[in-house]
Amino acid sequence: MTKTPFFSDRYDIIVGFTSLSTLPEMVMHELIKIMKNFTVNQQRDIWAVIENSLTSAQDVLPHSTITVVFKANGTVVCRSLGLHNPPSRVMGVDFFCGGFGCRPLPGELRYYNKYHPDIKKEVVRQECSQCKFQSRNVRIGEVDWVQLLPGSRRIFWHDYPPTEQQRALFLVGQCQDAKVKRERVDSMNAVERARKRRM
C-alpha cells in the first residue's frame, strides 16, 4: 500500500469497472473513445469527455458500472455511471433489498417498470424472491440524486459512493419512522459485515 495520496497531480482521471469478471475486450472500446477525445479531439473538460464518450457504452454497462475519479476546480470528484436495465438494475444503482435484514443473492432482487416515453415519468418497483418483499412504486423523476447522462435514455450517473440512505430508497414508505429506517440499514450493514468475515 502506498503512503502517497490516492489522487495526486500524477493523474488527470481514473476510470474503474466494478464487475469481477470484466474482460479487457469488453471495456477497451470505451477507453479508446475517452483517450481519442482527449488526444485527437483536444477536449479538456474531463466530465464533458466522459459524457461524450460513454453515451453509447451499453455493451459494457449491462455487466459493470463505471466509476470515474477526477479533479474539478481543485476538488476530487468521484462519480458512478450505470445502466437502467430492469429487471436486473434500475437507475444504474445497486440498491439494498427493502426486506428487513435481507441480503439477497445475485438474481434474487428484481425490478419491474411501467414504461413511459419520458424516462423521468417511468415508475419502478423492487421485488425480492428470497424474502418476498415488494416495494411501493417509485417515479424515477422523484429520485433527485441520480441524473440521466445527456444524450442517453438509459445511462444514469450519481456521486459515488451513494449514501446508505440512498441505497435504502425502497424502504421509504415501508417504514416512515426515521429511527426504524436507521435500524433497518444498520441491520443490513451488520449482515453484510458478518458475511464478509466468513469469506
Q: Tell me the per-residue pLDDT of 121-156, one tens digit each, with 9 for 90 and over.
A: 999 999 999 999 999 999 999 999 999 999 888 999
Q: Average the pLDDT over 72-93 and give the result.
A: 93
> Would you say residue 10 has pLDDT above 50?
yes
pLDDT band at residue 186 using 50, 70 and 90 as cut-offs? low
| Closest to 163 measured CA to CA, from 151, 146, 187 | 146
Tens-digit pLDDT profile for residues 85-122: 999 999 999 999 998 788 899 899 999 999 999 999 99
Higher pLDDT, 126 or 177: 126
Adjacent-strand bridge partners of 180: none
pLDDT of residue 193: 66
The domain spans of the chain are 13-83, 109-143+162-198
DSSP, residue by residue, the chain: --SS-SS-TT-SEEEEE--TT--HHHHHHHHHHHHHHHHTS----HHHHHHHHHTT-TTTTTT--EEEEEEETTEEEEEEEEE-BTTTBBTTB-PPPSSTT--PPTTSEEEEEE--SSGGG-EEEEEETTT--BPPPEEGGG-TT-EEPTT-SSEEEEESSPPHHHHTGGGTTT---HHHHHHHHHHHHHHHHHHHHH-
Q: How confident is the model at residue 2 (pLDDT cuts 50, 70, 90)?
A: very low
pLDDT classification of 58: cutoffs 50, 70, 90 = low
Q: Which residue has the higher pLDDT, 199 or 140?
A: 140
Query: What is the pairing mode between strands 147-148 and 123-128?
Result: unpaired
Mean pLDDT of the chain: 82
Contact by Cβ (8 Å): 113, 138: no
Contact call for residues 199 and 112 (beta carbons, < 8 A): no
In percent, how much of the chain has pLDDT > 70?
78
Determine if the pTM surpasses 0.85.
no
Q: What is the pLDDT of residue 185?
A: 60
